[in-house]
């Protein structure tokens, strides 16, 4: 029987989401007949010792953020000849850096919001214009994102920003939040996310009932097709493996689309978008998705 280690928890700001995802993955893989071990990642040495002691066949990386998503774990496992799900080190590292990802997107003909990285937000008296978006360069799950609408708001927000983080200022794109999954080099569909709050933030993503998911998105055909094409384009440009999820902003007033970021370790919770799109498009189950990811990793 195949032994799978579901890697979870970790030390990043997205630890809670990782534990939620991992719980679902563990149950699904047990349903599919795998022998499943959970491991709360703390460091490489403990992980490698655990994998060796339990004679693990493949790792399902359910970590989010930090070492789990920035390519460190992928590199560690690859260097030790251990099979694993999701992308390799290079794709993870680039995708985790929103500025690098935007640069690659632009080179591939994908429109992105204007913006730039800043060294220390506390030294910036005012923003070029308002509203603008302030967000970490290398965090996920909408952690630390602010929409700043005035100079007064900027003064309040920058007092909350950790100067040790890497921050970026970005043009605010009004309109709707769209997302597309690429699975095994095929773009699945487009979901329109309508949060009950102004912004699709961490709370809106992971609180049941706070965000309505329209799938497939009721948007113009050209925008729908552009979401699919751009998602597959950036997936391949970064060298992503197995699955990725690209996020967009769509302004209906101008009928324009802007790419925001790509996620190489998308959530696998009850409210997560990748399994939802998979079930909608294929007619299969959440457990089938986990099974397919593990079987592909075993190749």
Q: Are residues 103 and 205 in the same domain?
A: yes
pLDDT value at 196 more than 60 = no
What are 19-49's pLDDT values in tens digits?
A: 999 999 999 999 999 999 999 999 999 999 9
**What token pair was written down for 134?**
């302030």
pLDDT at 204: 41
SS (H, E, C) the chain: CCEEEEEECCCCCCHHHHHHHHHHHHHHHHHCCCEEEEEECCCHHHHHHHHHHCCCCEEEECCCCHHHHCCHHHHHHHHCCCEECCCCHHHHHHHHCHHHHHHHHHHCCCCCCCEEEECCHHHCCCCCCCCEEEEECCCCCCCCCEEECCHHHHHHHHCCCCCCCCEEEEECCCCEEEEEEEECCCEEEEEEEEECCCCCCHHHHHCCCCEEEECCCCCCHHHHHHHHHHHHHHHHHHCCCCEEEEEEEEECCCCEEEEEEEECCCCCCCCCHHHHHHHHHHCCCHHHHHHHHHHHHHC
For the cut 90, the answer to whether the pLDDT of residue 203 exceeds it is no
Sign of the Cα torsion 277, 283, 289, 295 reads negative
Token code pair at residue 93? 């590292």
> pLDDT tens, 152-181?
999 888 888 887 788 889 999 999 999 999
For residue 75, being part of any structural domain is answered with yes
User: Is the same domain home to 189 and 210?
Assistant: yes
pLDDT above 90 covers a percentage of the chain that reads 72
What number is the average pLDDT over the span 245-270? Answer: 94
| 210 shares a domain with 107 | yes
Q: Specify whether 124 is located in the same domain as 156.
A: yes
Query: Are 99 and 225 part of one and the same domain?
Result: yes
Query: Residue 299: inside a domain, yes or no?
Result: no
In a domain, 60, yes or no: yes
CATH code for the domain of 120:
3.30.1490.20
Number of residues that this document lists for the chain:
299
- 152 and 190 assigned to the same domain: no
d(CA 247, CA 173): 13
The answer to the question of residue 289 being in a domain is: no
Backbone angle region of 144, left / alpha / beta, with phi > 0 → left and psi within -120 to 50 → alpha? left
Quick check: is 271 in a domain?
no
Integer angstrom CA distances of residue 1 from 7, 30, 33, 54, 82: 19, 11, 8, 13, 17
Q: Which has the closest alpha carbon to 94: 105, 110, 85, 83?
A: 105
- Point out the domain boundary residue: 125, 147, 171: 171
Look at the chain and report how many structural domains it folds into. Answer: 3
Query: pLDDT tens across 43-83, in order?
Result: 999 999 999 999 999 999 999 988 889 999 999 999 999 99
Mean pLDDT value of segment 223-227: 98
Q: Within this chain, do residues 102 and 47 fall inside the same structural domain, yes or no?
A: no
Report if residue 279 sits inside a domain.
Answer: no
- Domain co-membership, 82 together with 186: no
Q: Which residues contact 210 (CB under 8 A, 6 or more apart)?
A: 195, 196, 197, 203, 204
Residue 122 located in a structural domain: yes
Average pLDDT score over residue span 174-197: 91
Q: Is the bond preceding 131 in cis, omega lying within 30 degrees of 0?
A: yes
Kindly state whether residues 209 and 233 are assigned to the same domain: yes
Structural domain harbouring 46: 3-86
- Average pLDDT in the 204-219 region? 73
Give the pTM.
0.88
Q: 99, exposed or middle or buried, with CB in 10 Å at 0-12, 13-18, 19+?
A: middle
């Amino acid at each position: 029987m195949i032994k799978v280690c579901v890697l979870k928890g970790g030390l990043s700001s997205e630890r809670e989401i990782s534990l939620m995802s991992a719980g679902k993955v563990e149950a699904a893989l047990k349903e599919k007949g795998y022998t499943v071990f959970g491991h709360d990642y703390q460091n490489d040495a403990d992980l490698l010792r655990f994998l060796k002691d339990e004679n693990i066949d493949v790792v399902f990386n359910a970590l989010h953020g930090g070492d789990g998503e920035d390519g460190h774990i992928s590199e560690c496992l690859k260097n030790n000849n251990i099979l694993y799900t999701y992308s390799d080190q290079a794709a993870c590292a680039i995708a985790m850096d929103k500025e690098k990802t935007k640069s690659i997107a632009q080179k591939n003909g994908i429109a992105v919001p204007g913006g730039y990285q800043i060294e220390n937000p506390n030294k910036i008296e005012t923003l070029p214009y308002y509203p603008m978006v302030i967000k970490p360069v290398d965090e996920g799950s909408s952690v630390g994102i602010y929409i700043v609408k005035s100079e007064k708001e900027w003064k309040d927000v920058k007092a909350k920003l950790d100067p040790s983080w890497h921050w970026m200022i970005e043009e605010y794109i009004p309109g709707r939040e769209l997302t597309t999954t690429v699975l095994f080099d095929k773009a699945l569909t487009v979901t329109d996310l309508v949060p009950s709050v102004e912004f699709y933030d961490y709370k809106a993503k992971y609180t049941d009932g706070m965000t309505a998911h329209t799938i497939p998105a009721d948007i113009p055909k050209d925008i729908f097709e552009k979401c699919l094409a751009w998602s597959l384009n950036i997936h391949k440009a970064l060298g992503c493996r197995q699955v990725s999820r690209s996020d967009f902003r769509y302004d209906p007033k101008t009928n324009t689309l802007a790419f925001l970021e790509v996620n190489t370790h998308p959530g696998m919770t009850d409210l997560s978008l990748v399994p939802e799109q998979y079930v909608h498009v294929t007619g299969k189950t959440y457990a089938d998705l986990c099974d397919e990811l593990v079987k592909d990793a075993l190749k």
